[in-house]
């Protein structure tokens, strides 16, 4: 994790760190403080999760040790205060390797080598739950899910059962260069709650007066289209896993706006992640529409402290359009046949599921932002960030988090995205949008039939 954001977060945490040991936690089905685990009801013959001195080892798989792995270590240390016999073994895998290893084991029916806990990307959750029934533990009664962002809970829910403890979020914002905005004659208030069409108009004036692009565009990346769709409560597929390209006003408007971005001259063409990052670190663009996790990378820009701000994202100008969306995120699952299922569940429920103190440390050490809403009542999240002109950026993202529309990501999100990518160049080159979306729907149907 970027050292700059860690230092900023540590500074924010300093004023409240003395209160972390007692923390603050909203009510859950079983009342508990931050440093007291919330017991999970277990069968009579299960391991006693409240036997604090009993040696209990849990194995977890995750990717990105500086972020997800460190979060587990923070949680382990907190949990050990009440369970000194508890140890956590963290297996470091790349995201691709983890998903491939999990799929291979589940497909073969050989689950002995699987861990107790596994990190699952939200976009893959429904596919795993549906494709491999009885594989993941039912965590419906593990925590009070009303304490989490509803769209996160929706992503791990299937047939009214909840299979994951929501973790990090990608609630989106529009990061902007205040100096470019001022040079073009605008103020930060001019970016508040605008439509994408207004965003493009402002971008054209910024380009004319400063020579800077408003944003980037990459036809091989679906990040912006995904953000637009969810902001209107829509997605590439329907909750019953049917294609959602035809007769979908949000999809049609997304394609229109995306084409306008690309053709209006306000977007700098990029072909990959490095070019995208360089566009704002080198000062080539005035805005970045992305998830909250982008903060660390934005802060890598040399000499840019105090020159950035953040506003809500633009909205689609259609019924149901909002100025809030999400990009990315993951949740923690427990394997139903795991040897230490009950201990693993209690560990997750007591930390990720019920501890403001945990999330204060997670912000300080990793720059991580959570879906656990009570954490945002902490003073840590209300502190001002010097790099962003003194804005209380985490409070702003906390405000937008509950506004993100809940959607069903379904089983075939990646297949739908791939089908769209195949046709997107034609759309950008002026093809009839309705006909192109019919082509995309046909491609998708061929992939999943």
Q: Which residues of 11-20 are buried (b: 16+ CB within 10 A; e: fewer)?
A: ebbeebeebb
Q: Is 40 exposed, middle or buried (0-12, 13-18, 19+ CB in 10 A)?
A: buried
Query: pTM, whole model, 2 decimals?
Result: 0.81
Per-residue pLDDT of the chain (449 residues; tens, 9 = 90+): 444 444 444 344 333 333 333 333 333 333 233 433 333 333 333 334 444 567 899 999 999 888 899 999 999 999 999 999 999 999 999 988 999 999 999 999 888 899 999 999 998 999 999 999 999 999 999 999 999 999 999 999 999 999 999 999 999 999 999 999 999 999 999 999 999 999 999 999 999 999 999 999 998 888 999 999 999 999 999 989 999 999 999 999 999 999 999 999 999 999 988 999 999 999 999 999 999 989 988 998 999 999 999 999 999 999 999 999 999 899 999 999 999 999 999 999 999 999 999 999 999 888 788 999 999 999 998 989 999 999 999 999 999 999 999 998 989 998 999 999 999 999 999 999 999 999 999 999 998 87
DSSP string, 166-203: EEEEEEEEEEEEHHHHHHTT--GGGGTT-BHHHHHHHH
């Amino acid at each position: 994790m970027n050292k700059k954001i860690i230092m900023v977060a540590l500074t924010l945490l300093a004023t409240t760190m003395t209160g972390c040991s007692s923390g603050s936690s909203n009510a859950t089905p079983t009342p508990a403080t931050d440093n007291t685990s919330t017991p999970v009801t277990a069968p009579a013959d299960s391991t006693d999760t409240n036997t604090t001195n009993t040696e209990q080892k849990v194995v977890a798989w995750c990717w990105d040790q500086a972020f997800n792995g460190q979060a587990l270590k923070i949680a382990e240390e907190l949990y050990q205060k009440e369970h000194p016999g508890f140890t956590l073994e963290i297996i470091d895998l790349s995201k691709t390797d983890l998903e491939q290893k999990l799929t291979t084991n589940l497909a073969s029916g050989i689950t002995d080598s699987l861990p107790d806990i596994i990190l699952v990307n939200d976009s893959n959750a429904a596919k795993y739950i549906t494709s491999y029934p009885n594989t993941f533990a039912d965590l419906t009664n593990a925590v009070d899910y009303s304490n989490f962002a509803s769209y996160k809970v929706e992503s791990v829910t299937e047939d009214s059962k909840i299979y994951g403890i929501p973790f990090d979020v990608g609630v989106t914002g529009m990061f902007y260069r205040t100096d470019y905005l001022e040079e073009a004659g605008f103020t930060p208030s001019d970016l508040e709650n605008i439509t994408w069409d207004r965003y493009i108009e402002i971008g054209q004036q910024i380009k004319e007066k400063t020579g800077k692009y408003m944003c980037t565009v990459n036809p091989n990346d679906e990040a912006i289209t995904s953000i637009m769709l969810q902001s209107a409560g829509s997605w590439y597929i329907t909750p019953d896993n049917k294609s959602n390209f035809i007769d979908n006003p949000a999809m049609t408007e997304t394609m229109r706006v995306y084409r306008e971005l690309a053709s209006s001259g306000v977007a700098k063409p990029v072909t990959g992640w490095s070019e995208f990052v360089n566009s704002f670190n080198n000062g080539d663009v005035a805005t970045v529409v992305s998830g909250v996790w982008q903060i660390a990378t934005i802060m890598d820009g040399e000499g840019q402290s105090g020159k950035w701000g953040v506003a809500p994202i633009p909205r689609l100008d259609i019924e149901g359009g909002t100025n809030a969306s999400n990009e990315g995120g993951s949740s923690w699952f427990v394997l139903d046949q795991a040897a230490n299922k009950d201990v693993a569940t209690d560990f997750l429920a007591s930390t990720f599921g019920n501890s403001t103190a945990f999330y204060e440390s997670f912000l300080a050490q990793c720059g991580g932002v959570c879906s656990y809403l009570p954490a945002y009542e902490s003073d840590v999240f209300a502190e001002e960030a010097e790099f962003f002109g003194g804005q209380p950026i985490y409070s702003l993202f906390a405000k937008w988090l509950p506004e993100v529309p809940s959607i069903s990501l379904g089983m075939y999100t990646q297949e739908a995205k791939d089908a769209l990518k195949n046709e997107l160049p034609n759309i950008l080159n002026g093809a009839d949008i309705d006909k192109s979306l019919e082509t995309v729907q046909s491609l998708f149907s061929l992939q999943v039939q």
